[in-house]
Structure 1
Amino acid sequence: MNSNNHQQCGATQIVNEFCESIEGRVLRRGSEEYKQNINRRWNIDVVNTPLLIVYPKNIQDVVKAIKFSRECELDFAVIAGAHGFKSTCDNGLLLNISSMKNISVDPETKTVVVETGCTLGDLDRETSKFGLAIPSGHVSHTGLGGLTLGGGIGHLSRSLGLTSDNLIGCTLVNYKGDIENVTEETNKELLYAIRGAGSNFGVVTEFKFKLHPVKDVYLGTFVYPHATAKEPLTLLGEYASGKDIPYELSCAISITPEGVVVMAIYNGTEEQGKQYIEKISSFGIPAVSKMTMIPYVQLQCLIDNKVPHGLKYYQRGPFIKHSLNVDMIDIILDAYNNHPTKSCAILLTHLGGKVKEPVDDDFSSFAHRNSEYQIIFLSIIPSDENKSSIKQWTANVHNQLMPYCFGDYSNTTDGTQPIEIIYGKHTNKLIQLKTKYDPLNFFKNNTNIKPTQN
């Protein structure tokens, strides 16, 4: 047997031994099951070519996968809900943590311990049994892990803060394969980093969150034709940023082929929220106007079918400094009308409130608390021929809005922005912590912070 064959046999044996050691599942490239699973992600425009896909059953499987990847010098990436643009690897090991879904709610202490493989919907459905929730996202099939580690913006952020603001601890496996219990008491600086830049520091297998009483919300849904949306959006912009607007009120704006949709959400009772929602209903002449109490779990699922898995997507997500004004609205509406394929949505999430309240500099690495809105330019790519024109459209709109925009959000960035745009004033401290906790940049397939090279 020549040396090449001998080395190949040795490598095959090492892989076989690793696969046999995993209590969960391991899919090898070339197998039928691998082919069926490789493109089961939200955005199939993301190219992903791992040698192995590991579905861990428990934290020990995660430890083994990290050690195996590091010792064999394999590219390494993690997915759960598979919404991430950067959670991919080339000829390496992809850790698909989506089968780790245990959830344990403690209604007495109003806390929940949840494994990272859960989606937002998995968690919402379980906590709702106790009339409790955390603020999290807009789409229920989003992975909880990625959302939290990037900060976590959602419908209730104005009243309850970011998802990561409600994170009180987690269990993490570092690049050495060591298990760490991260809390304010055990490792405050690492918890700070995880609250906004967490994918850079290890594989989080379990979160612990504080919960809030949330059962039903009062929802106003108002739909305007594109041609008549300017006036109501201008009035809404002035109203929603008023000093007297309570944290419990937030507005989500979606400009889609179906029209301009305003969802006015009050985190409270109809009696408490009615005056605010009715005021918003008076702006312009909506083609659709509905006001009702709905379960929070239902709110979280309302746009699920608008952004299904298995399509090609492109997006970018900067922040807006101030209230919406007529100049911004003109740019946004004109941009929508000039989209090259019309297969797009422009989404605005109302911030401020609890998010804007000052926090200690060592509490969270999320950089953009002073924003009034986050705006997402989201396009479906009908074919590869349209990709370049869609990217150019996105860049053009972003440039036009630059007088009003700043930053970008790690969970919706297209990856072209420098990390200073994502992490802002926290960048230098995060580089120091990355150098301390992941000096090899083993966890690099993310919105990556590179360690300082000695």
Structure 2
Amino acid sequence: MTTTTTSATQALADDFRGDLVSPGDPSYDEQRKVWNGSIDRRPALIACCTGAADIRAALAFARRTGLQVAVRGGGHSFPGHSTCDGGILIDLARMKGIRVDPVRRTARAQAGVLLGELDRETQAFGLATPSGIVTHTGVAGLTLGGGIGWLMRKYGLSIDNLISADVITAEGELVTASEDANGDLFWGIRGGGGNFGIVTEFEFRLHPVGPVIYGGPIMWPMEKSPDLMRFYRDWITGVPDDLTTAVMHRWIPPLPSIPAELHGRPVVVVLACYAGSVEDGELVVAPLKAFAPPVLDMCTPKPYVDLQAMFDPSFPHGRWYYTRSSDVSTLSDEVIDIAAARGMAITSPYTSYPIFQLGGAISRVSPDSTAFGARSSGHTFNFVGVTLGPDGFEEQRQWVRDSWQALEPHQSGVYVNFLSDEGTDRIRSAYGATTYDRLKDLKQKYDPGNLFHLNQNIRPH
């Protein structure tokens, strides 16, 4: 750091309750790590905040010094937007407060809360709010981009269950965003990502879920993918909104719960979550199970928190991840043939790609009521190339690019949380032209200097 920055850091330390971690500090290398091991960046300063006052102090420091700002909740940004080189990393991980009101069926969660932590508290009362699919994901980043997960077809996206949020703006002002207060900001943070400020706390609507729910994966040999997906396409046209599913192509992972002789076998998987009674779930999923004898059937009654965690072993911290994503309107024969071929081309035991079923409650929300831009999509593809480290990573990146390009003629948009660094045109395609222009106007109002630009950035000019 320069002498000026060093003196400013001392001034920040005098007004900061959390920890300030700099290069050379014993914990620096551990503190700068993010979930995606392929991201290796070195902030000039990591500000581990304990509350809104620390965040405001860190932002004031950034304005004084001109350092760029990165904001980290759970640190799950695929392209590494939750860290930076040479700037200040505002780390919210210590802000873990959760308050559940089982009478009003609401929960308040601070910005450092992870999905599994929120589920644990709400499930103590048989309640849940729609969230994501990996429990060590941060509530903040997931929600601000939309929030797809296992309850979405019945109860909507995470943003559809957001009641209010406390936001610190680029100028350090703490404001509440809700339907009744700063409604324009409330519209924008529901899908517009971290472009407009730092959310310190979220208030969610809760729903009766679990504690036991019917769901899990059913696996068939990979070569059955074309026939299975055509069956699946027809079957889901008649299922109730209580059911959310995804199709995944991958090799069977070496988990203790899976017989060793099946480890590494290429499979096509249908994952299911039925957000109703176990008995009704069994009846709805029965036709799928009768399609053909599966390699492995783990779709059974289980605690909701276990179902929420079923992807955790496949996406741990420290592996190298690269992703490209796109939505499609329907699983046409051409799309199914592409999906099956890309599954057969997988060469890493860690690489996979889910195809999430959308629709239901998602599509019943007016498209202009939030900034989320994919209300009418039928399915989301997320091609994820994964390795343990740098060895073989370029090969998996190429598999992802080839897969995305094969699907490109059939694309109908993209989920912003699954974007890599792909440029303004792709960000625009995530929202559509009308919503994107409205987001630009909002950015001009709340962050005209683009202080919050390490995100899927909506430029103010």
1:440 and 2:413 matched: no
Aligned length: 441
Instruction: Indicate the RMSD between aligned Cα atoms, in angstroms.
Output: 1.7
1:76-119 deviation digits (Å, cap 9, x = unpaired): 01111110122222211001101101000111111111101000
Distance (Å, rounded) in 2 between the aligned partners of 1:169 and 1:152: 15
Taking the TM superposition and a 5 Å limit, the aligned residue runs for 1:13-412 are: 13-39=7-33, 41-84=34-77, 85=79, 86-215=81-210, 216-219=212-215, 221-240=217-236, 242=237, 244-258=238-252, 259-322=267-330, 324-339=331-346, 341=348, 343-359=350-366, 361=368, 363-384=369-390, 386-412=392-418
C-alpha distance in 2 between matches for 1:378 and 1:441: 30
With over 3 angstroms needed to count, the CA separation of the structure-2 counterparts of 1:199 and 1:8, relative to structure 1, is closer
Deviation for aligned residue 1:342: 5.4
Bigger drift between 375-384 and 100-109 goes to 375-384
- 2: CA distance between counterparts of 1:291 and 1:400? 31
- Cα distance change of structure 1 residues 331 and 72 upon mapping to structure 2, 3 Å threshold: same
Cα distance between partner residues in 2 of 1:89 and 1:377: 25
**Structure 2 unpaired stretches of 5+:** 253-266
Per-residue Cα deviation, 1:194-246 (whole angstroms, up to 9, x for no partner):
00013000000000111111113212531111122322221011111x1x321
One-letter amino acid matched to 1:395: R
| Structure 1 contact 43–311 (Cα < 8 Å) conserved | yes
**Residue 325 of structure 1, CA deviation:** 3.7
Shift of 1:315: 0.6
How far residue 396 of structure 1 moved from its aligned partner, in angstroms, is: 2.1
Mapped contact 1:182–1:191 kept (Cα < 8 A): yes
Identity of aligned residues (%): 34
Q: 1:442 to 1:306 in 2, by over 3 A?
A: same
What is the SS of the residue equivalent to 1:105? strand
Which residue in 1 is equivalent to 2:255? none
> In 2 relative to 1, CA 109–76 (structure 1 residues): closer, same or farther, beyond 3 Å?
same
Q: Distance in 2 between matches of 1:110 and 1:400?
A: 44
Alpha-carbon shift at residue 284 of structure 1 (Å) = 2.2
Mapped to 1, the partners of 2:391 and 2:302 lie a distance apart of 42
- Give the Cα separation in 2 of the matches to 1:140 and 1:11: 37
Provide closer, same or farther for how the CA distance between residues 335 and 9 of structure 1 changes in structure 2, counting only shifts above 3 A: closer
1:142: how far off? 0.5
Whether the aligned pair in 2 keeps the contact of 1:76 and 1:442 (CA below 8 Å) is yes
* Cα distance in 2 for residues equivalent to 1:451 and 1:193: 13
CA drift at 1:192: 0.5
Query: CA offsets per residue over residues 350-406 of structure 1, 9 Å max, x none?
Result: 110000114161x21000011111111001145546444433332222222123322
Q: With the length of structure 2 as denominator, give the TM-score of the two structures.
A: 0.92
Q: Does the residue aligned with 2:408 lie in a helix, a strand or coil?
A: coil
Name the TM-score, length of structure 1 as normaliser: 0.93
Residues 46 and 90, structure 2, Cα contact 8 Å, conserved in 1: yes
Is 2:382–2:418's contact at 8 Å kept on the other side of the alignment?
A: yes
Alpha-carbon spacing, 1:289–1:54, altered in 2? closer, same or farther (3 Å): same
Cα distance in 2 between the residues matched to 1:129 and 1:270: 19
Within 1, Cα distance between the matches of 2:290 and 2:367? 40
